[in-house]
Amino acid sequence: MDNNLSIRLGYVAMSMLLTNASPSKTVTVKQFEQMIDKEAGIRKLERVALTNLENCLRILKHNHAHDITFFRLSSRIVPLANHPLTEGWKYERTLAPMLKQLGDFINKKGMRVDFHPDHFVILNNNSKEILQQSLRTLLMHYKLFKGMGLSHIHRCVLHVGGKKQGREEGLEQFINNFGKIPRTIQEMIILENDDVNYPIEDVLYLGEKLHIPVVFDLHHYDVLHESTELLLLWERVANTWKDSPLPIKMHISSPKEGGNDRRHHDFIDSDRLYEFMKKIVGTVEHLDIMIEAKQKDVALLKLTEDLTKLLGIQVISPSSINLKF
């Protein structure tokens, strides 16, 4: 029997092919404080957030034109949303029409979108203040999903966090804190292995224990792992997605200067990805791969082009390929 693997490629946050389309325009705390009054500052924030959403829609329309249906939305759409200076700001009300327009387009075109909040969102810290701030940020993401009319389930990628008290203590603190957070926030989370603190083995421990899907980052694995039994680890990763409404997701990037360089290259090393795909073909039917490369959509299109030259690859569209052996 032939082994087949259907792959959909996506990219992160902004396009390198579009001009003047940043979805992450911002207002600094200093700029906000210099406004005439708080209401004037809030109106400025709302104008910037609306521009960011309009640019998100431009990017998604650009993606549709290139048959790209997998995309990570910027977590910086709403500037200062969780800052104490804007406490009480009901940004979701002002943004509701534009959020709905964005969500309608995503649903109509059958796209998969998600978020990856920054490293300040930490669930394994023993500080109540840090945990509460992290939850406020996650609540913002939940409100954005709700405003778009999209399911929040398994849409928000997080790292485990820090390990100042040690790895085991950090893992147990995550479990303890996870039990304290609202169910809707729990449902939103998926966990990724990192390249400094928590290798895939640790993330699988949490994913299997707490029923959280695990996002496998190949670059992070190459830099930091404990087991060389990659196929066995992958099968465990795939199993964490068995009850998810979404396909298995992984991340791919390439070291900027080779070896164990943690920095991301402009493009993707197609040979390393091809090697990995050949190893896992037959274990899953479909896989969504998020490209974390500096050249964004340019890197995606180049990767597809590079893969066409390799044995067993069938290109379906600029972002969709089949691997068959």
Reported as a single tens digit per residue, the pLDDT across 194-241 is 999 999 999 999 999 999 999 999 999 999 999 999 999 999 999 999
Number of domains in the chain: 1
pTM: 0.95
pLDDT digits (tens, 9 = 90+) for 7-19: 999 999 999 999 9
* Average confidence (pLDDT) over 169-195: 97
Distance CA 154, CA 246 (A): 8
180 CB contacts (<8 Å, ≥6 apart)? Answer: 131
DSSP bridge pairs for 62:
none
Is residue 12 within 8 A of residue 72, CB to CB? The reply is yes
Distance CA 211, CA 192 (A): 14
- Which residue has 């597809």 as its token pair? 304
Q: How far is CA 7 from CA 252, 270, 310, in A?
A: 13, 14, 15
Residue 251: which of 219, 229, 206 has the closest Cα?
219
Q: Would you state the pLDDT for residue 114?
A: 98
CATH of the domain at 181: 3.20.20.150
The boundaries of the domain holding residue 83 are: 4-324
pLDDT at 1 over 60: no
